[in-house]
Amino acid sequence: MQDTPGALLSILRDGQARTRAELAQLTGLARSTIAQRIDALLDQRWIVPLEESTSSGGRPATAFAFNRRARIVAAADLGVTHARVALTDLDGASLAERSADLSISLGPEAVLGWLLETLHELLAETGHTSADLCGIGVGLPGPVEHASGLAVNPPLMPGWDGFPVPEWLAARAGAPVLVDNDVNIMALGEHRAAEHLLFVKVGTGIGCGVISGGRLHRGAQGAAGDIGHIRLPSADHVMCRCGNLGCLEAVAGGGALAAALGVAGTREVVGLVRAGSTQAIQLVRQSGRDIGLVLASIVNFFNPALIVMGGDLAEAGEHLLAGVREVIYARSLPLATQRLEIRASELGDQAGVTGAAVMVIEHVLAPAAVNLTVRT
């Protein structure tokens, strides 16, 4: 309930400029309190003053507007085989961006070293320094304990188990670091589309980001959405790389499809689908059905308004989506499916960096956080 400078900032984030009098009226705060907080926000450049004439024709009152260039955000999407880094403003609009083929299995120091080097290049390119950075958001392709930022037994990330990503990166970049599962971050990137949504990423592996009531649901250990290792009854004979039998990922993930088709990876599977290979199309469609079987139960349990399919395999046309829809609409309860939308991600390969930026912005601009920063 306590008011903070951050509370004023939350009001101004809608883009409209307001005078001290208007802010006092909106909040019920004392004029002296408003004045102190405006000064603190001006000091730190969170807001900028605009001269506006009053309707009464008197002395112009100063209005204050949110300054979306007050800080720079760094957003990194580190996938199993490729990586992307972007700089954004406080609205999440991209200022500069770079991507590269980079294997996560090179280990944390090599991959984070690339991230750091690229970040410095992008800062220089856009005329900024580390001092302008308010935070770095990082998505990793495996389970992450969000509070500590540690990857925990990540099956596709040899060498990363327990590596202190936030400390390592913060010490070198000079800005706070937030880390989460790549799919949680992609879900955040789509979170304005619905109150309750699932973002399902089908790449080499399979994972899911969960938005409940407009907020990311991470679960008790940050492990929520790990649907790739749900056991599929029809696959009890297949060994998963996690060491268990019958995981969804072991039969329906891009890695499994690549192995079945005798090609190197998920991108080659997508290439075959685009080239019209009947075998590849059938496999992707069946992958959709297997994923749909797991999601059909989750739809009954979670009742989302929207399921967004992303990742390389979702970009292989409508085949994956068709399989998913076929099974969910046949198996889930009518009440849960009557208005359920299932579609491909419109953000495509931008979903990760978009969401990583949202994660940092929501954290940095949370009323309590701003209070800590600007109290003088």
Cβ proximity to its own copies, 96 vs 242, nearer residue: 242
Among 196, 263, 286, 363, binds its own copies (CB under 8 A): 196
Nearest to 225, CA basis, from 189, 186, 197, 183: 183
Among 333, 348, 372, 375, binds its own copies (CB under 8 A): 333
Residues 3, 169: Cα–Cα separation, whole Å: 33
Window contacting its own copies (CB under 8 A); options: 27-35, 91-99, 156-164, 309-317: 27-35
Among 77, 180, 190, 226, binds its own copies (CB under 8 A): 226
Residues 328, 127: Cα–Cα separation, whole Å: 49
Cα-atom radius of gyration of the chain, to the nearest Å? 23
CB of 339 to its own copies, least distance (A): 7
**225 is a site residue for its own copies (CB under 8 A):** yes
Chain positions 65 to 124 lying near its own copies, rule: CB under 8 A, are: none
Q: Name the residue type at position 123.
A: L
Among 84, 191, 229, 289, binds its own copies (CB under 8 A): 229
Question: Phi-psi region for residue 84, left (φ > 0), alpha (ψ -120 to 50) or beta?
Answer: beta
Among 44, 99, 148, 303, binds its own copies (CB under 8 A): 303
Window contacting its own copies (CB under 8 A); options: 2-10, 58-66, 156-164, 168-176: 2-10
If you search the block for the tokens 């001269």, which residue do you land on?
A: 51
**305 is a site residue for its own copies (CB under 8 A):** yes
Nearest to 47, CA basis, from 5, 80, 99, 103: 5
CB of 227 to its own copies, least distance (A): 6
Residues 125, 120: Cα–Cα separation, whole Å: 9
**1 is a site residue for its own copies (CB under 8 A):** yes
Nearest to 321, CA basis, from 368, 289, 361: 289
All residues at 6 or more sequence positions from 358 whose CB lies less than 8 Å from its CB, including other chains: 92, 137, 188, 189, 191
Burial of 28 from C-beta contacts in 10 A (0-12 / 13-18 / 19+) = exposed
Window contacting its own copies (CB under 8 A); options: 45-53, 96-104, 109-117, 303-311: 303-311
> Using alpha carbons only, what angle is made at residue 333 by residues 328 and 337, rounded to the nearest 5 degrees?
60
Among 217, 259, 281, 322, binds its own copies (CB under 8 A): 217
Q: Are 374 and 364 in contact (CB under 8 A)?
A: no
Q: What ranges in 243-348 are assigned the alpha helix state H?
A: 248-252, 254-261, 266-274, 278-302, 319-331, 334-337
CB of 157 to its own copies, least distance (A): 14
Q: Name the residue type at position 175.
A: A
Encoded one letter per residue, x for contact with its own copies by CB under 8 A and - for no contact, window 231-270 reads: x-x-------------------------------------
**156 is a site residue for its own copies (CB under 8 A):** no
Q: Are 123 and 130 in contact (CB under 8 A)?
A: yes
Among 215, 274, 343, 375, binds its own copies (CB under 8 A): 215
CB of 302 to its own copies, least distance (A): 6
**223 is a site residue for its own copies (CB under 8 A):** yes
- Bridge-partner residues for 76, per DSSP? 85, 138
Cβ proximity to its own copies, 94 vs 303, nearer residue: 303
Among 15, 28, 262, 276, binds its own copies (CB under 8 A): 28
Among 94, 148, 297, 373, binds its own copies (CB under 8 A): 297
CB atoms within 10 A of CB 257: 27
Among 126, 221, 279, 282, binds its own copies (CB under 8 A): 221
Query: What residue ranges bind its own copies (CB under 8 A)?
Result: 1-3, 7, 10-11, 26-31, 33, 143, 152-153, 194-196, 208, 210, 212-213, 215, 217-227, 229-231, 233, 294, 296-298, 300-305, 331, 333-336, 338-340, 367
